[in-house]
Chains A and B, each alone.
Chain A
Amino acid sequence: SQQGEEDPQALSIQEGENATMNCSYKTSINNLQWYRQNSGRGLVHLILIRSNEREKHSGRLRVTLDTSKKSSSLLITASRAADTASYFCATDTGANSKLTFGKGITLSVRP
């Protein structure tokens, strides 16, 4: 069964607005990672947050992790048209040593 589930499945916003994407997971994790995938390209790592961290920042990105709720959120502030992409959360449970990806969120930023 799916470990990570992103929400919403699709998000459309105006340039300059903030975009918030959520990820929920089922089992305990060692870390949670967010990736971006532009159309027709490979995934690009954005940010990694460990299970003992609650918040992390990287440029216009802010990730939070709530292990009690088994959820994470990715906030992109002051969005740009270039942020249009699919965003995936991925969890590392330490089990079988693999990273499990969610189904992704399609973000469209209108100029």
Chain B
Amino acid sequence: DTAVSQTPKYLVTQMGNDKSIKCEQNLGHDTMYWYKQDSKKFLKIMFSYNNKELIINETVPNRFSPKSPDKAHLNLHINSLELGDSAVYFCASSQAASGRFWYEQYFGPGTRLTVT
């Protein structure tokens, strides 16, 4: 049983296109995240939602727009794709933060985006 799933696993597209990546978790978690991992494996948080509410919005181009239809889903839409957007995108989820304490995160398998 997959805990955090992402689709698609691979995405190859041309510059200027618009694409979406979907994420679903069946862990009953309240918080979901999007991360970007570059070619050097550096992992950087992009967005976080808690119960469908945006709580983290890092310095990300506004071509990236997350959407959370319910607390089990967090999708990422990217407009006008650029070469620099090529990376692996990971979705993750965790229990909601308790005060200042955050719990371990569960990651999806990743979506490798290649922009040509």
Residues of A within 8 A of B (CB): 30-31, 33, 35, 37, 40-45, 48, 50, 86, 88, 92, 94, 96-101, 103-104
Contact = CB atoms under 8 A, between A and B. Distances in A.
Interface string B84-116: 000000101000010011111111111000000
A103 B40 contact: yes
Interface of B: 4, 40-45, 48, 55-56, 58, 90, 92, 97, 100-110
Q: Across the A-B interface, give the 9 residue pairs with the lowest CB-CB distance, nearest first.
A: A42-B107, A94-B100, A45-B104, A101-B43, A43-B107, A92-B102, A42-B109, A104-B41, A98-B45
Given A42-B4, A42-B108, A42-B109, A31 B43 contact: no
Contacts, number: 60
- Find the residue from A43, A45, A50, A88 having the highest chain B CB count within 10 A: A43
B104 A43 contact: no
Given A42-B109, A101-B43, 8 more contacts: A37-B41, A42-B110, A43-B90, A43-B105, A48-B104, A88-B43, A97-B55, A99-B45
